[in-house]
Amino acid sequence: MSSDPIANEDIVSWLAANPQIEVLHTAVCDLNGILRGKRIPIDQAQRVAESGIRMPLSIVGVDVWGEDIVGNPLVYSSGDVDGICSPTGRGALPINWTTRPSAMIPLWLFQDARTPFLGDPRQALAHVLRRYAEHGLEPVVATELEFYLVDPDPDSAQPPISPYTGKRLDSDAILSLDELEDFGEFFRDVYLQCEQQNVPADTAVAENGIGQFEINLLHTNGLKAADDAVLFKRIVKGVARKHNLVATFMAKPYGARSGNGFHVHFSLNDQAGNNVFDDGTESGSEVMHHAVGGLMAGMAETTLLFAPHFNSFRRLRPDTHAPSAVSWGYENRTTAVRIPGGNPKARRIEHRVSGADANPYLVLAGILGAALVGIEDQIKPPKPFKGRAYSERLPKLPADWASAINAFEDGDMVPRIFDNTLQSMFVACKRQENAGFASQVTDLEFSAYLEAV
């Protein structure tokens, strides 16, 4: 399954037409959404395009620090076997923020020449999409990603200095045109790189936090939407470096300011191209309601996909523009799942739980997978919620990282969405990271308790 009509053999012809390229990287996406791979000589591009490149299957299962997962059966008990990393069909993508002209070939993992490795997050999403195809359905997906620009010098997050005024940003500036203009050269380069990598960047806005922005990506098929989001995050971070800035997609870089969300909009088309969520009414079709029912039923056990890090749970708090309860509603941005208004032909579901720190492949696999289970089982959702959805009477998302890990491991719906290999790898990865954070004593703990207790 390819995310783009560019044929793999066109990699060679593209490189021939771009002789200025000096550096070529190949990369797969790991469980944390981090690209990992190799630098290869330009003259090896044809071999990669035709037969792929070998890398350990375990490369997608390392923790956020790049360490092997203790006890991972893919490493020591099996000899850390190689898989075949084949081009995704995206081609070779130019990179304009490096010191030398560069390009990257995105890859995904197979156990052999034809067998997908379902521990690969991209393969996991492709597996969910194949199940939709068996039902004669195709998801149409659009994403919204928020990020902060921060000063590159301090050790902790600090607002950036405006390239225009020379002054440090000191206030929230939601929908500020001035702030967009202040960082106009940065945005110019982001849009230029998105165009070169076929990432459909749409509207940019200044968001609620100091130096926080959001860029929407236009709707497309599910696999390309995830590819676009992964590449977009890398583009924004790379271009920020070029402009002596740091861009962060951390869920909550500032404890008292808005977090970074990753909102996902999706509808379903039948084989004739009709939106099956549209029944001509404002309430949406029965199929849409069953999809919402699946999202509600699987919300707690899939939360780890949307909040995969220690920092993620700082964002999921009441009255913070992020959900904290398992809820849905019409035109209600306090719920976890929102049904936007407008023309019924564009009826869609907006999933608002994920932070921008999450892996787009796993986020879309979790959302679309749960929705499909709801459709297959004809799950009826609870009544839509009206008003402030932080009510104590609503069922809650897991309140902390450890609870989310346990829910993902023990859930009944997760095995219907993901292969056991990915489920067990993700749990082991997150437990190892959790233990790493738990073993550290913070500066706040030290100052609070050193002499007081």
pLDDT of residue 78: 63
| In contact, 75 and 92? CB cutoff 8 Å | no
Single-letter residue type at 375: I
Give the three-class secondary structure for 23.
strand
pLDDT of residue 2: 40
| In contact, 89 and 83? CB cutoff 8 Å | no
Single-letter residue type at 84: I
Single-letter residue type at 266: F
Tokens of 84: 């075949």
Q: Cα–Cα distances in Å, from 438 out to 357, 433, 441, 442, 452? A: 20, 9, 8, 10, 22
Give the chain's domains with CATH numbers. 10-117 (3.10.20.70), 131-418 (3.30.590.10)
How many C-beta neighbours within 10 Å does residue 344 have?
A: 16
Distance from the first to the final alpha carbon of the chain: 60
Compute the half-sphere exposure of residue 332: CA atoms within 13 Å on the CB side of its CA.
17
Single-letter residue type at 222: G
H-helix or E-strand spanning residue 83? strand 82-87
Compute the half-sphere exposure of residue 264: CA atoms within 13 Å on the CB side of its CA.
31
* Separation of CA 336 from chain center: 17
Compute the half-sphere exposure of residue 265: CA atoms within 13 Å on the CB side of its CA.
15
Q: What are φ and ψ of residue 269, in 5° steps?
A: -105, 140
pLDDT of residue 153: 83
| In contact, 23 and 97? CB cutoff 8 Å | no
CA distance 358 to 307: 6
Pairing of strands 262-269, 246-248: unpaired
pLDDT of residue 435: 95
Transcribe 105-131 into DSSP letters: EEEEEESSSS-B-TTSHHHHHHHHHHH
pLDDT of residue 416: 97
- pLDDT tens for the chain, residues 1 to 453: 344 334 566 899 999 999 999 999 999 999 999 999 999 999 999 999 988 999 999 999 999 999 998 877 677 656 678 999 999 999 999 999 999 999 999 999 999 878 999 999 999 999 999 999 999 999 999 999 999 999 988 777 788 888 877 778 876 666 577 778 888 899 999 999 999 999 999 999 988 788 899 999 999 999 999 999 999 999 999 999 999 999 999 999 998 889 999 999 999 999 999 999 999 999 999 999 999 999 999 999 999 999 999 999 999 988 888 999 999 999 999 999 999 999 999 999 999 999 999 999 999 999 999 999 999 999 999 999 998 888 778 999 999 999 999 999 999 999 999 999 999 999 999 999 999 999 999 888 989 998 899
CA distance 380 to 215: 33
CA distance 120 to 125: 9
CA distance 395 to 296: 10
Dihedral of CA 48/54/58/63: which sign? negative
CA distance 323 to 300: 12
| In contact, 200 and 218? CB cutoff 8 Å | yes
pLDDT of residue 177: 78
H-helix or E-strand spanning residue 427? helix 420-438
Beta strands in 157-211 (DSSP E): 201-206
H-helix or E-strand spanning residue 187? helix 184-196
Q: Name the packing angle between helices 121-134 and 222-242 (round to 10°).
A: 150
Torsion of Cα atoms, 245 then 246 then 251 then 254, to 10°: -60
Residues 6+ apart with CB under 8 A from 8: 49, 50, 86, 87, 89, 91
Give the three-class secondary structure for 253.
coil
